[in-house]
């Protein structure tokens, strides 16, 4: 979870974030999903501590979602029903379509839909 081993492909981006040369945009639903996915492996306390640490970095921006973000996310789920996008994935793509960051993902649906939307997506195959 971001402080564990970062894939080599993303090491430079993470280094830039940690050294305050780049911004890291977070969405609360993404934080919730990261907590849910990592708690079984790391434990609740460790996950909470790492999330709180991440949120305190000076160059981390917690994006305040708007009605437009929410409606765009709903539209994306409707437009791409076969891509396996969760609502969190759809919210991420909706916000990225406006803020234009590089999206780092292990999700093939996010990669495909994001690329179709002209979003800069860096994808790594997730190995369980």
Domains of the chain: which residue ranges? Answer: 1-64, 66-128
Tokens, residue 88: 């969190």
Query: Quick one: average pLDDT of 1-21?
Result: 76
Strand segments (E) across 5-113 = 24-26, 60-62, 103-105
Instruction: Please report, rounded to a whole number, the percentage of residues in the chain having pLDDT higher than 70.
Output: 93
First to last CA, the chain: 14
Tens digit of each residue's pLDDT (9 = 90 or more) over 27-37: 999 999 999 99
List Cα–Cα distances, 85 to 41, 46, 78, 110, 113, in angstroms: 24, 28, 10, 7, 9
pTM of the model: 0.82
- Is it the case that residue 95 has pLDDT exceeding 60? yes
For residue 2, what pLDDT band results from cuts at 50, 70 and 90?
low
């Amino acid at each position: 979870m971001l402080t564990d081993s970062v894939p080599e492909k993303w090491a430079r981006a993470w280094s830039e974030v940690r050294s305050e040369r780049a911004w890291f945009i977070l969405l609360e639903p993404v934080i919730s999903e990261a907590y849910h996915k990592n708690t079984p492996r790391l434990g609740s306390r460790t996950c909470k501590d790492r999330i709180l640490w991440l949120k305190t970095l000076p160059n981390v921006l917690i994006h305040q979602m708007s009605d437009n973000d929410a409606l765009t996310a709903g539209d994306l789920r409707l437009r791409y029903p076969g891509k396996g996008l969760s609502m969190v994935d759809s919210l991420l793509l909706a916000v990225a379509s406006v803020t234009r960051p590089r999206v780092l993902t292990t999700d093939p649906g996010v990669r495909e839909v994001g690329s179709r939307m002209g979003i800069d997506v860096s994808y790594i195959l997730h190995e369980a």
